[in-house]
Amino acid sequence: KEAVKQFGGIDILINNASAISLTGTLHTPMKRYDLMNGVNARGTYLCSQACLPHLLKSPNPHILNISPPLNMAAKWFKGHVAYTRAKYGMSMCALGMAEEFRDEGIAVNTLWPRTAIYTAAME
């Protein structure tokens, strides 16, 4: 609401926030699992849902999720099932919302950098 008040609307939402833990199943406590799903999948859904009424008023609305292409090959899950699942949740939001809001003209896409970008979250 503050962004709409300050800038007069919302034209694009970039779902960039992410929680990461590249740990195996036996080394991922449920608190960490819940954090990754809460920030990644739930956060993407929540922010998108909150922005959609304003995006529907935009002449060129977009949602961009920083999330991977959906690939069910086991190698993408090995060693970090919880993280991959949480990030795929973001990608599934894009897939579903792209179709759901196609007729309203909202473009919903994903972007996945080819290499890892080191941030404090990776420490």
Catalytic residue among 45, 83, 88, 118: 83
Residue 74 — pLDDT band, cuts 50, 70, 90? Answer: very high
| 41, 90 contact by CB (below 8 A) | yes
Specify the amino acid at residue 110. Answer: T
Specify the 3-state DSSP secondary structure of 66. Answer: strand
Which pLDDT belongs to residue 120? Answer: 66
CA-CA distance, 23 to 71, in Å (whole number)? 19
The one-letter code for the residue type at 21 is S
Distance CA 98, CA 75 (A): 27
**Is 83 tagged catalytic?**
yes
Rounded Cα–Cα distance for residues 34 and 42 (Å): 10
Q: What is the pLDDT of residues 37-61, one digit of tens each?
A: 999 999 999 999 999 999 999 999 9
Asked whether the predicted pLDDT for residue 116 surpasses 80, the reply is: no
Confidence of residue 121 (pLDDT cuts 50, 70, 90): low
pTM of the model: 0.91
